Structure formats: C-alpha cells, structure tokens
Structure 1
C-alpha cells in the first residue's frame, strides 16, 4: 500500500483524469455493476420461475410476474452491457486524446532534455507500451476491481441481512476471490509480468540501436550473430508467457472451485431456510443459481491486479517525462516588451556529471544585437542554449529577461524565442499549414508574404498545387536549404524578439550556406540573435563573438577586434575563406 501511494504521490497522468472525468467514471461503474446485477437477477428469477412452473400452478397468474421479470432482466443485461461498453470506451478515447496531447506537449517543450536522457528505443518503448498500459489500467484493472468489490459487498450484505452466519461465510469465501487472490496475483504473476516488460523494454532499446548500426554488422560479417541476438529475448518472453498461461489456468480453476463452494453453501442454507412449505422451496434454486454470473467479474479482478506492476512501471516512466530537469516555478507573463537579456553567473552541472558543463558565464544582450557563439563540440554551447531558453535549470546563477527569470516565463516562451536549428521539422501537411505554425492566427496573405520574404515564392507557385503542396514527412519534398527557408518563414510569422540559430547551415554546401545566412540576417535585422556555429562563415553579420572552451568564454569581442588582436581567430577566419 505504501508503494501504491508513492506511485501516485506526484502523478500527472492517471489521477488527474480520474478527477477530470469522475462523472463519466461513476456512470461506467454503475453500468458495469448493473450488467452483472441484471445477470444475477435473471438467474435468481429464472431459478424461482423454473421451480414454480415445475409445481404446475393452477393459474398462469402465479408465474406471470417471474415471466415478465425474466424478460426484463434478459433485455436489461445486454442493454447495460452494450451501454457500459460504449461509455467505458468513450472514457478511454477521451483519455487517449488527452494522453496524445499531453505527450506531444511534453516532448515539444522538453525535447532537448528528453533526447539527452532517453535512447531512441527508450522513447519507442514509452510510445508503444506505456501509454497503452495506462489506458488498459482503467479497462482491465480499475473498472473490473471496483465493479467486483461492489458485487462482493452487495452479495455479503444481501445474504447477511437474511442470515448473518451465511453472510459471514460469503464474506470469507468471496473474500478469497476478491482480496486474497488479487494480492497473490500481484505477488507471483505480477512479478513475472514485470520481468516480461523489462525484457521487452530492453529488446526495444537494443534492437533500435542495433538496427541503426546494421551496416556495421553486415560489414563485419556478423549477420547471423545479429539474428541470434534477437532470438534470445523473444524466447525469454515466450517462456514467461507460457508460465503466465499456466498460472492463469490454475487461478481460474481456483475461482471456479470457490464459486462451487459458495454455491453449495447457498444451496445447503436455502434448503434448510426455505423448505417449510412447497411455495418457499421455490427460492432454493433462485439463491443457488444467482451466484454464477459473478464468476466473470471475479476472475477479471485477479487478472487486472496481476498486471498492476507493469502499470506501475509505466506510470513512473511517463511521469518521469514530466519531471525532466526543470523545477516547478510559478509562471508569469512578460510585463513589458523585451528590453534586455541578462545572463548572471550561469553555472550548470548534470546530476550524473563530475564537472561543470557551463562555468560562471555572464553577459548582457540588448534588443537588436547579434551574438555568435563558437567553439568545438563538447564545450557546452548546446547546454548553454538550453539554459537560456529554460529547458534546464541552472545549478547556480540565472537567466533574466527584463529582470524576470526565464523559468517563470515558460508559458509564454514561444512569444519570446524563435528557434532555427540544424534539422527544423516540417510536418506531413501543406506548405501553408507548415508555415502557419509560427502564428496560427495568420491570414493566408501573411503566410504568403513570409514565404515570399524568404525567397521561395517563385518555387512554391511553380508547383502544381502551389501553397497546398504536401511537404511530406520531415519535409522530404524539399532540399535542405529550402526546408530551412520554410522554417525561417515560420519564424517571421512568429515574430519573437529573440532568435536562436543553432548551427542552421551545418548540412548545407558553402554557396547555399552563404545565401541562407545572408537572407536570415537580412530578414531578422531588427531581432536579437544568438547564433551557435562551428566556423566563421557569415561572422561579419554579428556584433559580438564569444568563443567557448570548457564551459567558459576564453575569447570575446567584435569580429574586427578579434581579427586584429587574436591570432587564433585570424587564422580560423582566413582558413574559412581559403586564404593561406
């Protein structure tokens, strides 16, 4: 129970939706209870009807009411079942919709942190299994457990009101099915399910990494080793599933056996209780038959409980996406237009690291200034950018916009920062829709003006579908330079005051790179730009140059000052231009 509470202590994926859709949840549980109540009532009424009809009553009036009730409960059971299925799946579809939206927002807001802390296969496991597990938590565990307990309480109270001794026996016998067996399932088969999930998760992760490196396997002549490596987890999962089926068979057998004992108890009790007269004897079969429809929900309780360890792991994993590395901060809006970006003594070290990736960096950037951030890979440039936009929380120091902490401005971040990176993502929709993502309220003409501004008007209008052309997944319809220009058009519509350029030309040829950089700085001449780059092409466009080395600035100044005073900068600048 302690672990159960701990799982939901900081949960943002399960409990919020139980509260959000509590009205629908109550309806689902009511309909589920009424489904099995109608089934039990049908058997109860049928037992009475059969016994009464066997006595050959002198008038149809003696069995008219049971006949009507048999029809009523016979119709009610499938109707309640159908409506319950519709309602429960309506619940789940609402949950799925919210999950997808929440997952997209989580990944979109913390993409850099998630990419750093999760492998590709890890994310695949979350998408393929964990979201599905949380959906099944409601259908396979929450609903059956609550409905089963409601039936358990109803039977115990109902029988106990007639005979407290028999009611106590019902409490003990049915308690084995509704309490003892679910706990036993968690302790035994639940552990096995958890092991299967671990093997499957490792399989996803390893297989993804191995497939990405499939060329190396082929080149080294180890194709058979690659195939054999995949067979091992598959066989392990098959063995676990075989043991799981074996356990389920015995568990179902035990449930049936307990139901048999319960039926015998009811039969013996009713035979002693209702045999004083022939008319009372009609109730014997009624009580004996009424328990059988409860077999299905009671079996589902144990199966749902056995899957709890897997659901627990999934809940923890998706909640870990939310936790990320950013501490909760009360959100505010920017009080006035952008005036100053202040970086004060900024320091950052990863939780599992042994050194400061960013060390005591301070700088101030004003509206319209252009700053280039240079340095070799691994010097902290990307981490610095994540700190600036609020993806990471600094170990020390702070980033301020107009003296407001960037961590408190995350709700309005898209209005402050526009980002053009190495691989801007274009969705599998039209050119118009992709560019309009910068400002969903932009008119068609504003979108076309932005596209024209980045120099793509002639190209787009020469296409058969023009602005309704499908760009295809990841923008495959266009070249690298064209994709960057479409993303630049998106940024123009966004109209944020600060633009982050994260090596946007790294995959382009020198001619395309120069044209794109000239266009970027021309169109964004009134914006504040922080440009991360690995070489000096286009450096004349900026006002300040900062070289990062081991998380610190070791050279800084204007391009002209550094060219005169720093031989290293002069050498790099000349090399970039092909000078000896």
Structure 2
C-alpha cells in the first residue's frame, strides 16, 4: 500500500512520536481492561469463599479500583492523541491537495469531472483518516497484544501458550486473510461504485434543468435509484459476510474461554489445591476484554483494498508545486505574441492547436472566429495563462502568460458566455473589479454600460440584493454588469469569449456596440462563432481544425477571400 506512496506515508515519520504515544496508550488501555477483569474475577471468587479478614482481599480491591479508573482514562487519552494525530494529518493532506490542484484548476477540470474532485475531498480523505483509526492503530495494538498474550501464557504452561498461539493466531491472521480473499474485492467494487456515483450524480445535478426540460425527470430518478440499488446490493453482501465472520470469531473466542477454563481448572485446582481455585475466574474473565482488541482486525484487513485505492488516487494527482517567483510588473504598451503554438491535452493524441503564429499590437481589436471545437476556447485559456502550451509560447511583452499566475488579472480581463453574479448586493458584485470604488464611481460605470437608470429604479439601488447566480437579470444585463467590473478594474487587454451567445439580434447588436464604445483604446480579443460586427475590427482570424485558415483586415478579406464573403452572406441569412 505504501510502497510508492508520497502522500500518506510521510506523515508516519513526521508525527511518529504522536503515533507511538497513541499506540502505547492503546495497549495500556487494553491492559487496564484485562487487569480489571482479571482482578475482579479473583476478588469475586476470593470474597465468595469462607468469610476472612478484609485485609486478605485489600490488594485486589485496590488493583480493581486502579484498573477501573485507568481503563477510561487511558482509553480517553488514546482517543485524544490518535484523533488529534489523524486530524493534523488530514488537515495537512487537505492543504496539500489544494496547493497541488489550485495552480492547475482549469486544466484539472478539463481532465477530471467535478465528481472526481468531490470524491477526493470527501470519500478519499475520509478513507485515509479511517486507514489510521481503523487499520494501523488496531492492527499494531492487536499484534502487540498477541505476542504479549502468547509469551505470558507460555510462561505458565507450554501447552497453554501453544493453544493461545494457535487459537489467537486464527483470529489475528487466518480470519483476516480469509476476509481479504472473500470480501476485499467487494470493498474495492463498492469504492469504485461510490466514486462513479459521485461523478454521475454531480453531472446529473449540474444538468438537472435539461432533464426537466426534456420531460425525463422520471428517467433521471430511475437512473440514480438503479445505481443506488446496485451499491446497496454490494453493501448487503458485505454485511452478510460480516455477520458470518463475526459468528466464527465468537465461536473461536468461546473455544479460547473453554480452553482457558480447562487449563486453569486442572492447574489451580487439581495440582495446587483448593486455595488456588480463585485464579480460575481471574484467568477466564481476563480473556474477555481481548475480544474487543482482536475482533476489528478482520474488518481492517478486508478494507485495506479500499484504502489502497484512495492512496493510489492521491498519488495520481500532480505534484505539489510552489508558487513561481514574482514577475516584475509589465509596463508600457502590451504586445501579445503567439509563437509557433501547439497544444494538446494530456492522454490525448488529438492536437487542439497547431503551429499558430499571431501578433496582437497594443490597442488592436481582433476577432477570432471558428466553428465549435475548432480550438477558440482553448486559445483563450492559453492567452490568459490558464494552460501551458505543448510547444511554442504565448507572451505579453516577452513574458510567458502561464508564469504570471494570479498577476495575469492585472493585465487581462475576461467576459465569458455566462458571467456570474454573486448572491450579495449589486455594489459588492461591482466592487469585485475595484474594492475601493466609491458609490459615485459605481454609478458612473453603470451609466457607461447603460444600466444606471435601471439600477436607480430598483428598491435599494446599489444595495439591492442580487439573486443567486444573478437570475433576476437578463443575459444582456449580466454581461453589462460584467463589463462594468472590467471597466472598474481598468485592465489594458480584454478577452470577449462569445459573450453574445443566446441573445436576440437587437440585444446582441446593442451589447456589441456598448463593448466597443467603452473599450476604445484597449486591446480587444473577441472570440465569436459568427461574423456580425466584425467589420469594426482591425483584424479577423479564422481558425479551423486548430490551424489558421484565413486572417487579415475585414476589408482585405472582403476583397480577396471568396470563402469569407460566403460565410458573411450565410451569417447574414442570405
């Protein structure tokens, strides 16, 4: 499990003192339980004899009280130390998980589903926590007690020691191995099914509106119930096996008690005389607390495959990366250069972009066109530094965009297809662009994007609460609010990633006019799928199958490129 692990195993060494202390306290707690039952058995048996002086049972009385107090105290301390150890470990694990994924968030979402992330955060980290609490701690304590019990019983009698060696060995080793063989695959299957359920359920919840609009809500419920039923069937098999296994464990412990009773009866009564019979109850009762220490070993062993899968999933994640050294602030006019750019996603033979070469001068307005799947959206991620090129580079004033990290937002603003509005006031939503913006500045920018009059008519003006995701506003209004944020941020480069999709022609044209009027003097990269409004651009670039099919000014393309004229005619509905 830990052979090639770099995520979980290091914490065994980092917190080894706490780990050793937790195991030691666990062993002492079990020793107190055994001691309590042992002394109680002797005390009850001794006190039931012919009335004698209380001083003859004073020592077992004191020991019984000592072990009675020590058992909960040491058990509490063991739980306190072990859970504190595990919580520190999982806290560091969550922090490391965030540090590993945050710099590659966009890429991670391209490669994995949202359900995979949820599975890592909840299911897998929970399993890692249980790995220590339900496997490592109980196993080490159980094995240690097994060795101690065999040695102690062998000290009294070789026959008794060998009997405990075989019988306890059956519980400590044989039954756990049988559990792994019989139930380990079921645990692994249940883990895979839960992971798939996370992914599928997340996909379906995110697309619930499509299920409803297509009037297939009942099919969605049936699909989920079917997956749940399959998982419950596997769990039922696990529980049935657990009941049979627990019955066998109890039978073995019953046998151990009988063997102990037989040995003590012969040793202390037949050989040493009636005065030693008080030890019979002591030894027999001392066996019972060991059941609680040895019984969990089988369950721990069969769940090991589940924990192994979780560790494997963590080790498949990208290595934890340090933040890049701060880049000196970019000054002066910003020139974007795309130089021999190639890009393909990991584990994919398909090349999304192939040998792109584009120069974007300061203040230039270009339109990037292409049908769905041509690579336009991938290009915007590369421009914004969210992805790293396979070959070539994207630079701003000779600095690669992917090394700018969070500083990229000081130079590039993005308005995408579905701008998000948070469930707070309009003012707070706007101040995402500039936290220090005054109300006068907010009203000014709202006036520039054509929303001042509408916002003034709302009950509380700038203090009006925005519904979650901004659903109280139309698509065009959300895009205008997004533009207002960009204007407050005052970045020199703006990427418009198909912001007019789904809008009616009148709203679309009005929004386009607002964009270009308010972004005058800034570098604008407009990614779109049709040609309405491209005549006002300085350059048009058409991408097909990841390559530049045509580029030039609208005037040049109109005069020299037949296909461009045909596309404009089709887009205009002629």
Structure 2 vs 1, CA of residues 561 and 160 (structure 1 numbering), >3 Å: closer, same or farther?
same
* Contact persistence 2:128–2:310 (CA under 8 A): no
Q: Under a length normalisation based on structure 2, what TM-score does the superposition of the two structures give?
A: 0.79
Task: State the partner residue of 1:186.
Answer: 180
1:196 shift after superposition: 3.3
1:379 shift after superposition: 1.3
* 1:532 is aligned to 2:527: yes
Task: State the partner residue of 1:150.
Answer: 141
Give the distance between the partners of 1:507 and 1:558, measured in 2 at CA: 27
* 1:241 is aligned to 2:264: no
Structure 2 vs 1, CA of residues 234 and 151 (structure 1 numbering), >3 Å: closer, same or farther?
closer
1:557 shift after superposition: 2.7
Structure 2 vs 1, CA of residues 61 and 68 (structure 1 numbering), >3 Å: closer, same or farther?
same
1:361 shift after superposition: 0.7
More displaced 10-residue stretch of structure 1: 291-300 or 426-435: 426-435
Deviations 1:550-571 (A, max 9, x none): 2111222334444444454456
* Contact persistence 1:500–1:530 (CA under 8 A): yes
Give the distance between the partners of 1:494 and 1:521, measured in 2 at CA: 17
Give the distance between the partners of 1:427 and 1:17, measured in 2 at CA: 39
- Which residue of 239, 243, 247 corresponds with 1:253? 247
Deviations 1:169-220 (A, max 9, x none): 545543443444334323321211333344455566667569676469758x
1:422 shift after superposition: 0.9
Task: State the partner residue of 1:336.
Answer: 329
- Which residue of 441, 446, 459 corresponds with 1:449? 441
* 1:345 is aligned to 2:340: yes
Structure 2 vs 1, CA of residues 224 and 554 (structure 1 numbering), >3 Å: closer, same or farther?
closer
Stretches of structure 1 that go unaligned for 5 or more consecutive residues are none
- Which residue of 472, 477, 490 corresponds with 1:477? 472
SS at match of 2:296: helix
1:252 shift after superposition: 0.9
What pairs with 1:14-25 in structure 2 (closer than 5 Å)?
14=8
- Which residue of 537, 553, 557 corresponds with 1:558? 553
What pairs with 1:318-397 in structure 2 (closer than 5 Å)?
320=316, 322-323=317-318, 331-337=324-330, 339-351=334-346, 353-397=348-392
* 1:133 is aligned to 2:123: yes
* Contact persistence 2:142–2:294 (CA under 8 A): no
* Contact persistence 2:370–2:376 (CA under 8 A): yes
1:46 shift after superposition: 1.9
* Contact persistence 1:271–1:281 (CA under 8 A): yes
1:337 shift after superposition: 1.4
SS at match of 2:327: coil
- Which residue of 283, 286, 298 corresponds with 2:294? 298
* Contact persistence 2:445–2:488 (CA under 8 A): no
How well do the aligned residues superpose, as a CA RMSD in angstroms? 4.4
Task: State the partner residue of 1:286.
Answer: 282
1:61 shift after superposition: 3.5
1:377 shift after superposition: 1.4
Q: Under a length normalisation based on structure 1, what TM-score does the superposition of the two structures give?
A: 0.78
SS at match of 1:137: helix
Task: State the partner residue of 1:50.
Answer: 44
Deviations 1:80-118 (A, max 9, x none): 556666776667777777777777787775555455444
* 1:426 is aligned to 2:421: yes
Structure 2 vs 1, CA of residues 468 and 257 (structure 1 numbering), >3 Å: closer, same or farther?
farther
Deviations 1:32-75 (A, max 9, x none): 55554443333233223223323456333443444344345444
* Contact persistence 2:142–2:172 (CA under 8 A): no
* Contact persistence 2:342–2:389 (CA under 8 A): yes
1:476 shift after superposition: 1.8
Stretches of structure 2 that go unaligned for 5 or more consecutive residues are none
Deviations 1:109-131 (A, max 9, x none): 55554554445xxx34652x554
Task: State the partner residue of 1:5.
Answer: 3
SS at match of 2:526: strand
Task: State the partner residue of 1:160.
Answer: 151
1:548 shift after superposition: 0.8
* Contact persistence 2:366–2:539 (CA under 8 A): yes
Give the distance between the partners of 2:296 and 2:505, measured in 1 at CA: 65
* Contact persistence 1:126–1:318 (CA under 8 A): no
Structure 2 vs 1, CA of residues 109 and 47 (structure 1 numbering), >3 Å: closer, same or farther?
same
* Contact persistence 2:128–2:311 (CA under 8 A): no
Total equivalences in the alignment:
560
* 1:174 is aligned to 2:165: no
1:359 shift after superposition: 0.8
Structure 2 vs 1, CA of residues 182 and 518 (structure 1 numbering), >3 Å: closer, same or farther?
farther
Rg larger in structure: 2
What pairs with 1:185-224 in structure 2 (closer than 5 Å)?
185-199=179-193, 214=211
Structure 2 vs 1, CA of residues 368 and 162 (structure 1 numbering), >3 Å: closer, same or farther?
farther
1:434 shift after superposition: 4.1
* Contact persistence 2:543–2:550 (CA under 8 A): yes
* Contact persistence 1:152–1:174 (CA under 8 A): no
Give the distance between the partners of 2:387 and 2:454, measured in 1 at CA: 39
